[in-house]
Amino acid sequence: IAQKPAQYDASRPFSTWLFSVANNMCKNEYRREEVRRAAVPELAETMSGDAEISVRVTAAMALGNMGAAAQEAVPALIRALKDQDSQVRNWAATALGSIGPGAESAVPALKRAARIEGSRPAAEEAIRKIRGISTDQPLPPDEPLPEN
């Protein structure tokens, strides 16, 4: 109302207007969600080692920003944990953490990635997010990470 007062119809109840605004916001978010889901297979394919490093990193970042909607990309992100480039590995781990419990199948690969120098913090954080373990709590005994 403050930004576009002319669009508010004072003859209608405020609750009706508010419902219309909320309804339109939900529709817009749903449309964006559809676009994001449509991009997941292409972004997952981009994670292959054939693309430039910056492209693979950007694809991993985009998948991470999608959160659980990128669950279909988990296998590609698991493969990216073996990438020669540490940025790609770390962003793949971050993306898996952002996907959350839907990336449970990645935990063994994240444990292996934690053995690679420079990848341990991202891998450990991803496991914590996937398993819902707070950063102020130690990983439980069944979640030990290998020593470097």
pLDDT of residue 120: 92
Say if residue 21's pLDDT is above 90: no
pLDDT of residue 13: 77
CA distances from 110 to 92, 100, 139 (A): 10, 13, 14
**What is the CA 23 to chain-centroid distance, rounded?**
26
> Contact, 66 vs 36, CB < 8 A?
yes
Q: What is the pLDDT of residues 72-129, one digit of tens each?
A: 999 999 999 999 999 999 999 999 999 999 999 999 999 999 989 899 999 999 999 9
For residue 104, what is the DSSP state?
G
> Contact, 44 vs 76, CB < 8 A?
yes
pLDDT of residue 121: 93
Share of the chain above pLDDT 70, in %: 91
> Contact, 72 vs 44, CB < 8 A?
yes
What is the Cα–Cα distance from 148 to 145, expressed in whole angstroms?
9
pLDDT of residue 142: 62
Phi-psi region of 118 (alpha: psi -120 to 50; beta: other; left: phi over 0): left
> Contact, 102 vs 73, CB < 8 A?
no
Share of the chain above pLDDT 90, in %: 54
Mean local confidence (pLDDT), 11-19:
74
pTM: 0.75
CA distances from 19 to 3, 25, 107, 125 (A): 18, 10, 42, 39
Indicate the pLDDT class of residue 20, thresholds 50, 70 and 90: confident
Higher pLDDT pick, 143 / 128: 128
